Amino acid sequence: MIVKNNQALVKNSSFPRQAAKALQIVGAGIQAVEVKGAVQSAKLPKLAGFENVYVVGFGKASAAMAEALEKRLGKRIAGGAVVSVRKAKTMRIRSFVGTHPYPSQKNVAAAKKILAIAERAGSNDLVIALVSGGGSSLLALPGKGLNISELRKTNELLIKSKARVDEINIVRKHLSMVKGGLLAKAAYPARVHALIISDAVGDDLETIASAATFGDRSTFKQAAMVLKKYKLWKRVPMNVRKRLTLGARGKLPETPKPGSKIFRKVKNEILLNNMVALKAMKENAKKLGLNSVIYSNTVQGEARNVGKKLVKAAGKRKRPIALLAGGETTVKVVGNGKGGRNQEMVLASLKELEKLEKAIFVSVGTDGIDGKSRAAGAIADSHTLKNSIKKSLNFGDFLRRNDSNSFFKKGKGEILTGPTGTNVMDLQLVLAWD
């Protein structure tokens, strides 16, 4: 069972039969993007033509990916290193555990090993890169003139702003020695084959893990503009401003661009993405006898606004309906509570959910970790708001504090899966009936 507290959530729901179906559908989506099977069946170059095969990896799924790849290739792997949120059970691929969402010295130590392996590869070698969401933070190696504390401070400011992920990664690329195609540049002239678990809207290769193996069209000037757009320019460390200013003036080398000869020897292959999960959810809903529609796999925007929009959209459909969606929203953090974008999305939608009278809303992170909480997400129904008032829980107060996890923990609506070993952004389901 993907949802570890499934029985408790069903029992707590005002609509237990429908809650069981909703959790089963979401579980099917997460199960469909299981990493090991995808890596085992991935198409790789014929290894006979290479002198050495090296493995590097970064992201929340890279530990599971490394385990699957080592099982597949065995002694053919000459060496490797991956950094993830857990330790990989591997012998030939060295495993590092880094911090997420904010980088630390642990991440730097891992990134140095990964960079060294890439630099070691020669023209007759193959470097297999295992790339997944979370790689932008986990693969952290500050650019010249910066240290990890300055990088961390900048990351914190960006994540807490309303900046989109692609905008945040433009800045990250220009403060790094490995992002924005620089890892591929380090491996050149070796051949690089990247196996990618996409956590980016539209599978944008320039965004996933900050494009360590893909050409970067953005510039130092654009990175500075992102900070100025969100009024962070004067708040980031002085050395960050100095580096971006020097780069914008052409006094630092730009990240390698898509037309560079480096990328003629690089292949980036997406193994799993959000749509794979949504299609599995749709198929499972069909087996349960439900009409379903994939509303969008490119959901973006402020989480609390998106949740209301999805519930309203379900209310306009002919019932019964299972409205499915996926993507990655943002949260402007103004309070000091505990939670994440999925729980905040559900919390903010309680009034709209109540209007539908018979409806359930689920939102989860496929990695099993929603923000700074133990939960993967949350489930609520049309009676959750009324029941919370009986328990003296003021949902508005929790929302103002960005304290969605505390609300759902007390209201018994937090979804627990534990780390899933995969990451294809978030999944939403609105189930409505008459």
> Residues 210-248: pLDDT tens digits?
999 999 999 999 999 999 999 999 999 999 999 999 999
Q: How far apart are CA 367 and CA 41, in angstroms?
A: 21
Using CA atoms, how far residue 262 sits from 169, 177, 397, 422, in Å, is 21, 16, 53, 29
Of 331, 325, 358, nearest in space to 347 by CA: 331
How much is the mean pLDDT over the chain? 96
Token pair 């700074």 is found at 372
Q: How far apart are CA 200 and CA 215, in angstroms?
A: 16
With beta carbons less than 8 A apart as the criterion, state whether 83 and 55 touch.
no
What is the DSSP code (8-state) at residue 251? Answer: S
412 band by pLDDT with thresholds 50, 70 and 90: very high
Say if strands 321-327 and 359-365 run parallel, antiparallel, or are unpaired: unpaired
Per CATH, the homologous superfamily of domain 6-33+274-432 is: MOFRL domain (3.40.1480.10)
Asked if pLDDT for residue 386 goes beyond 90, the answer is: yes
Residues of the chain with CATH 3.40.1480.10: 6-33+274-432
More confident residue, 172 or 336: 172
Q: What pTM did the predictor assign?
A: 0.91
Dig out the tokens for 315 from the structure.
């209310």
What is the DSSP code (8-state) at residue 255? Answer: P
Q: How far apart are CA 107 and CA 103, in angstroms?
A: 6
Dig out the tokens for 65 from the structure.
């990916």
Residues of the chain with CATH 3.40.50.10180: 35-141+176-218+255-272
Task: Report pLDDT for 261.
Answer: 97
In this structure, which topology does domain 35-141+176-218+255-272 adopt according to CATH?
Rossmann fold (3.40.50)
Average pLDDT over residues 317-344: 94
Task: Report pLDDT for 1.
Answer: 72
